Amino acid sequence: MRGFLKIALAISGAAFAVTLAASIAVTARLRSDIAARPTKPGDDALFHLIAIVPSSDAGRYYARALESMGRAARKAGAALQPLTYAQGDAPESIARLLILAAELEPDGVIVSAPLAPLVVGAVDALAAAGIPVVALESDLPGSARAAFVGTNPYSIGALAATAVAESFPNGAEVALVLSRDFADGSPRGASIAAGFNYGARDRHDIRLAMTRTTREGPSASEEIVRELLAERGDISVAVFIGARDAEGAARALIEYNKVGELSIIGFDDDPTLLELVQLGVVAASIARSPERSGEDAVLAAMTLARGGRTSAYIDPGLRVIRRGGSDR
Amino acid sequence: MRRRLLSSFRSRLVAAGIAPIILMGVAAAFDSAISATNQKRVSQLFSLDLFMEETLSSVDAVVENLAVYIDTKNSDALRACMHHTKALSEKVGALSGGASYSEDAMLERNLAVLTRRMIAESEAAIRARRGRNIPEYGARYQKVRLLASFIHDRADALSLERLKLNLDAFATLDEQSGRAAALLGAMLASAMIFAAAVVSTFSLKLTDPLDALAAAAVRISEGDFSGGPLSAYGDDEIGQTAEAFNVMQASVEANIEEIKNKAAVEASLMEERLKNLEMEGHLRSAELKALQSRINPHFLFNTLNTGIQLATVEDADRTRVFLERLAGLMRYSFRDLDAPVALRDELACLRDYVYLMRIRFSDSMTFEIAAEPGAESAALPKMIVQPLVENSIRHGFADKPSGARVRVSARIDGGDLVVTIEDNGSGLLEGRAKEILDAADEGRELGNAEGGLGMANVIARLRLFAGRQDVVEFRDANPGTLIVLRVPFKEAF
């Protein structure tokens, strides 16, 4: 009995001491959590940048660009605050964000918005308030933006023609399918078409036979694929300038079991699209670099915020992704 | 010498009582601390929501009262607008003002900037309204509305951001609270086990010595002192009690030994007293027998004296001597039986008796009485020798009308008085000596005593006088009987 009691005393005493020490530690941890300020001294930034970009997009171009902008801003000692809008929002909404940005007194604004008078006016108001504005991917000609960082549409077209030429040595009738960002008839759409023709200037067997813009909404790319297959048997290659459109067209081909009857040149480097490239459903993809674009935009904005000068046009470049590799 | 901690039993009892309380108190204190911390943490999680609610209420109040003032120039609206403006200014001071990598801090900065701008625009609108500058106060008011809507947007964003942070914090809090609760439970369980073990240990330390004490007390109460003193139990109250118990045990043992000795002495005294009472009983019996033969002794002595005087007057000397001897014999027999007498007195009485017997039975009997010098002064109970001689005459010579001889002698032998009565009579019947001795042992008289003092009574009194049993011996004298009396020699007074 006495032995049992001694063991019980030793074990329970040790257990009590251990649990007491652990309880003290847990309580201290809880208290330190309470005492901790939501923001730590190391969180303070020297500059304040605002990025106005779409909240979501095919290929996660802007999401990746935002991540890159955040890293670059932090590296430069600036806090990047995103103000996002939904793709398809009216220019009024985007202009409102720009007005809000002006009221927040940032050191610089990076904006990717469709060209619209309200947007241009809001950009001008920002510039008038002494806040430098850098346009990202979607230029705002005629506004007081200080710089444009984005892919040259002309280069997109030229590189697409090169990709077609290399993928189809026997020539091809090409359909150019533009997304709404590069709508047919718009300056960007025209630049792409012009670039394509320039890129295919030495290949007379490659001809831009038609240009289309996908409509807003689901099944838009499938409709175009069906139309091409049914009505335009002369078209052998479709170049989609839009990641979602390219993926949708590829899926439609697989569904119709028409892979090979119509070849597709895709856009950007979304993992799904890359997989389709590897499967051979998509012949090649013209890929932008959102990381490079975001970093260049931040560097431009920071240069301007510090009172420096920067190039008005900054092109982060393109690359062609093919099965087995890629090149610029 | 410094006393050891918890050396007294009282302090141990207090410690055994307080230890569980302290352990439970510690556990309760931690429970309370953790609860308070959790409560503070939860309050902190929701403090910003309260702050935002108050801020937005003030923003709305500024916009609303500014609109009323601009429309009506109502002083109360102006006062309310300025009041809320001031409240907003104070709240803005609590918000983070600088750029930060933290998203919620940036949103706080947004709120601070927008609120300051709204306050500035509101004050500018009031000034323009006072100056009746309609275009300006209209534009300022619209700007205030726009800024108010921006503030709401940013506040919503901040609330959403804080909600995300709070959800993370709440998950952490929940995890830590669960861990703390588990630890508290383990602490309580170990405290309870520890307390129970402490109390049990102290109980055993208390009850073991007490059990030993109780067992020793029971053993001693049964008169068993073989257990020896209790072993030491330290210097606490139990040890002191054990020490006192040992002292008490030794004392009780000594007292009991003393009582035993006293009891032995008292038993001896009681035996002596009983012996005396028995002696008194025999004396009373002898006296009773003597009294039975005392028929008006004064009358008898007076009559005998008259006879002596008559014999003297008539010159009848033999008759006179006869009567004188008879009177002497009777006087001796009437003397107090309690007082021992000298052997010479006993022998004188015997001579009187022999003389009378010779007169009675002529000279057919021969009596010899011989006593060594010094033996006659020996003390002896009265009426010892005469009854024995009488018994010899009565029984020994009943069938022997002539030639009877009785010899009585006395001597000192090794500190004893030895008196022998020897006759040449018919001797004792077989077993008669044993019957006499048995009757003396049992304190009864044999049935054929036929007056006088019986032999059993004589032997019993002689034994009481001598303080031993072997005072008489019956021997076959062939012919006749030899009776040997042996008592310690004592000088008669």
CA distance B189 to B27: 10
CA distances from A285 to A62, A113, A270, A317, B484 (A): 18, 24, 10, 14, 163
B256 in a structural domain: no
Which of B176, B192, B212 is the last residue in one of the domains? B212
Could you say which residues from 211 to 230 on chain B have a Cβ atom under 8 Å away from some Cβ of chain A?
none
Tokens of B406: 């009785």
pLDDT tens, A278-296? 999 999 999 999 999 999 9
Q: Are B229 and A48 in contact (CB under 8 A)?
A: no
| Confidence (pLDDT) at B293 | 58
User: Which residues from B are below 8 Å from A8, CB to CB?
Assistant: 193-194, 196-197
CA distance B159 to B173: 19
Tokens of B105: 């801090």
CB contact under 8 A, B200 and A104: no
* DSSP track, A17-32: HHHHHHHHHHHHHHHH
CA distance A301 to B292: 165
Which H or E run includes A81? strand A78-85
SS3 A211: strand
CB contact under 8 A, A15 and B114: no
Residues B205 and B350 in one domain: no
Q: Is B174 on the interface with A (CB under 8 A)?
A: no
Which of B161, B183, B212 is the last residue in one of the domains? B212
| Confidence (pLDDT) at B305 | 87
Distance from CA of A145 to the nearest CA of B (A): 23
ipTM: 0.79
Number of domains forming the structure of chain B: 2
Return the residue matching tokens 């002529």. Answer: B362
CB contact under 8 A, A8 and B197: yes
Low-confidence winner among A242-246, A303-307, B190-194, B298-302 (lowest mean pLDDT): B298-302
Instruction: Judge whether residue A327 has pLDDT over 60.
Output: no
Neighbours of B391 (CB within 10 A): 23
Instruction: Judge whether residue A136 has pLDDT over 60.
Output: yes
B238 beta partners: none
Q: Is B194 on the interface with A (CB under 8 A)?
A: yes
Q: Is A48 on the interface with B (CB under 8 A)?
A: yes
Do β-strands A108-111 and A263-267 pair in parallel, antiparallel, or remain unpaired?
unpaired
pLDDT tens, B230-245? 776 667 777 778 888 8
pLDDT tens, B159-212? 888 888 778 877 877 887 788 888 888 888 888 888 888 888 878 877 777 888
Residue predicted with more confidence, A3 or A183:
A3
CB contact under 8 A, A103 and B147: yes
Residues B166 and B32 in one domain: yes
pLDDT tens, A4-59? 888 888 888 888 888 888 888 877 777 776 655 555 556 789 999 999 999 876 55
In tens digits, what is the pLDDT along chain B, a chain of 493 residues?
445 666 677 777 787 788 778 888 887 887 888 788 778 877 877 777 788 888 999 999 999 999 999 999 899 999 999 999 999 998 888 776 788 888 888 888 999 999 999 999 999 999 999 888 888 999 999 999 999 999 999 999 888 888 887 788 778 778 877 888 888 888 888 888 888 888 888 788 777 778 888 888 888 888 787 777 777 666 777 777 888 888 888 888 888 889 989 999 999 899 888 877 877 777 776 666 665 555 567 778 888 888 888 888 888 888 899 899 988 888 888 777 778 899 999 999 999 988 888 887 766 778 899 998 889 999 998 889 988 888 888 777 777 767 788 899 999 998 899 999 998 888 877 788 888 888 888 877 776 544 445 788 888 888 888 888 889 998 888 888 999 999 999 888 7
| Confidence (pLDDT) at B360 | 78
Question: Where in the sequence is the domain holding B87, given as residue range(s)?
Answer: 9-212
SS3 A302: helix
Provide the number of CB pairs (under 8 Å) joining chain A to chain B.
126
Could you say which residues from 36 to 75 on chain B have a Cβ atom under 8 Å away from some Cβ of chain A?
37-38, 40-41, 44
Candidates A11, A39, A66, A99, partner chain B, best to mutate (most B CBs within 10 A): A39
Which residues, other chains included, contact A82 with Cβ-Cβ below 8 Å and sequence gap of 6+? A50, A51, A52, A53, A66
Tokens of B238: 């139990």
User: Which residues from A are below 8 Å from B98, CB to CB?
Assistant: 44-45
Q: What stretches of A189-250 adopt beta strand conformation (E)?
A: 206-213, 237-241
pLDDT tens, A141-181? 899 999 999 988 999 999 999 999 998 999 999 999 998 77
CA distance B384 to B379: 11
B263 in a structural domain: no
Question: Residue ranges per domain, chain A?
Answer: 44-151+290-317, 153-287
CB contact under 8 A, B150 and A103: yes
Q: Are A136 and A149 in contact (CB under 8 A)?
A: yes
B99 in a structural domain: yes
Could you say which residues from 100 to 159 on chain B have a Cβ atom under 8 Å away from some Cβ of chain A?
100-106, 109-110, 113-114, 117, 146-147, 150, 153
Comparing alpha-carbon positions, the chain B residue that sits nearest to A10 is B194
pLDDT tens, B12-44? 778 778 877 888 888 788 788 878 877 887 787
CB contact under 8 A, B190 and A105: no
Q: Are B451 and B286 in contact (CB under 8 A)?
A: no
CATH architecture label of A153-287: 3-Layer(aba) Sandwich (3.40)
Do β-strands A108-111 and A47-54 pair in parallel, antiparallel, or remain unpaired?
parallel
CA distance A235 to A323: 22
| Confidence (pLDDT) at B224 | 82
Comparing alpha-carbon positions, the chain B residue that sits nearest to A5 is B197
Which of B212, B231, B257 is the last residue in one of the domains? B212
CATH number of the domain encompassing residue B376: 3.30.565.10
B330 in a structural domain: no
B230 in a structural domain: no
Q: Is B207 on the interface with A (CB under 8 A)?
A: no
> How large a percentage of chain A has pLDDT more than 90?
63
Give the domain A44-151+290-317 fold: Rossmann fold (3.40.50)
Q: Are B335 and B382 in contact (CB under 8 A)?
A: yes
Q: Cis peptide leading into B479, omega within 30 of 0?
A: yes
Q: B89: phi > 0 → left, psi -120 to 50 → alpha, else beta; which?
A: alpha
Distance from CA of B209 to the nearest CA of A (A): 14
User: Which residues from A are below 8 Å from B172, CB to CB?
Assistant: 33
CATH number of the domain encompassing residue B31: 1.20.120.1730
First-to-last alpha carbon distance for chain B, in angstroms, is 76
Instruction: Judge whether residue A134 has pLDDT over 90.
Output: yes
Q: Are B486 and B470 in contact (CB under 8 A)?
A: yes
First-to-last alpha carbon distance for chain A, in angstroms, is 85
Return the residue matching tokens 């459109």. Answer: A245
B247 in a structural domain: no
SS3 A164: helix
Q: For A38, which of B105, B109, B179 is closest by C-beta distance?
A: B105
Comparing alpha-carbon positions, the chain B residue that sits nearest to A84 is B157
B26 in a structural domain: yes
Which H or E run includes A327? strand A325-327
Identical fold for domains A44-151+290-317 and A153-287, yes or no, is yes
Tokens of B127: 């000034």
